[in-house]
Chains A and B, each alone.
Chain A
Amino acid sequence: GENVEQHPSTLSVQEGDSAVIKCTYSDSASNYFPWYKQELGKRPQLIIDIRSNVGEKKDQRIAVTLNKTAKHFSLHITETQPEDSAVYFCAAGGLAGGTSYGKLTFGQGTILTVHP
């Protein structure tokens, strides 16, 4: 099955700095890579996603890059703000059970702390 590794496990930055979180995946059949932000005691919230036919995607201060050959993808947050502090999870998804699309395999999470 799919295995997703996420690094670093904790990341501390000063407000205004950039933050980068990296993930690697093992299954070359995976073709969908979302990122979720989870604040303490709250639901995971989708912040950005990318499909395997795209190398980069941006949404304001957030960007994701994908290298299919190397099987890794990264989340980039620019101009970080204290409200960006949370746990961030990467995930990989692909074909599940024939022609259906289903499960996501998540990384272990990165605790991001943005200091004012």
Chain B
Amino acid sequence: DTGVSQDPRHKITKRGQNVTFRCDPISEHNRLYWYRQTLGQGPEFLTYFQNEAQLEKSRLLSDRFSAERPKGSFSTLEIQRTEQGDSAMYLCASSVSQNSNQPQHFGDGTRLSIL
């Protein structure tokens, strides 16, 4: 399967712990996006990369959140000192890069539950 891959699928942790998620985009896609989706809502944009450069961050992304894409391939999203409100599905998407918006293809997401 050459689609967007996310790991882990599920993560349960205690409040205050740090968590890290990984996303592997479609191989020829150099844009990578992170979204957060809570139950009954549409995905909310968090941040995006073009190659290794992080080009935009949402105000939703507090100082406890950090994302990296060190070699322009896979990306990690880390949440430090997790809070109850961080419980959500974290979705990764990727697209090709052209001078226009291109279709974003999503992974299956990582479901985070904070105890």
Chain A interface residues toward B at CB < 8 A:
4, 6, 31-32, 34, 36, 42-46, 49, 51, 89, 91, 93-94, 96-97, 99-109
Could you give 9 example pairs across A and B, Cβ below 8 Å? Answer: A4-B42, A34-B103, A43-B106, A46-B104, A46-B105, A89-B42, A96-B48, A101-B101, A108-B42
Asked whether A103 and B45 contact (CB < 8 A) given A32-B101, A43-B107, the answer is: yes
- Specify which chain B residues have a CB less than 8 angstroms from the CB of A104 in the assembled complex: 33, 43, 45, 104
Give A49's nearest chain B residue, CB to CB.
B103
- Specify which chain A residues have a CB less than 8 angstroms from the CB of B100 in the assembled complex: 31-32, 51, 101
Chain B interface residues toward A at CB < 8 A:
4, 31, 33, 40-45, 48, 50, 55-56, 58, 91, 99-109
Q: How far is the CA of A100 from the CA of B101 in the complex (A)?
A: 9
In the complex, the answer to whether A107 meets B42 with C-beta atoms within 8 Å is: yes
- Which of B41, B101, B105 lies at the interface centre, i.e. has the most chain A CB atoms within 10 A of its CB? B101
- Specify which chain B residues have a CB less than 8 angstroms from the CB of A94 in the assembled complex: 101
Give A107's nearest chain B residue, CB to CB.
B42
Q: How far is the CA of A104 from the CA of B45 in the complex (A)?
A: 7
Distance in Å from the Cβ of A11 to the closest Cβ of chain B? 15
- Specify which chain A residues have a CB less than 8 angstroms from the CB of B41 in the assembled complex: 108-109
Distance in Å from the Cβ of A3 to the closest Cβ of chain B? 12
Give A90's nearest chain B residue, CB to CB.
B42
Q: How far is the CA of A45 from the CA of B108 in the complex (A)?
A: 10
Of all A-B residue pairs in the complex, the 7 with the closest CB atoms, nearest first, are A106-B42, A32-B101, A103-B45, A93-B101, A43-B106, A102-B48, A101-B101
Give B43's nearest chain A residue, CB to CB.
A106
- Specify which chain A residues have a CB less than 8 angstroms from the CB of B103 in the assembled complex: 34, 46, 49
In the complex, the answer to whether B91 meets A44 with C-beta atoms within 8 Å is: yes
Q: How far is the CA of A23 from the CA of B34 in the complex (A)?
A: 23
Distance in Å from the Cβ of B39 to the closest Cβ of chain A? 11
Q: How far is the CA of A83 from the CA of B8 in the complex (A)?
A: 28
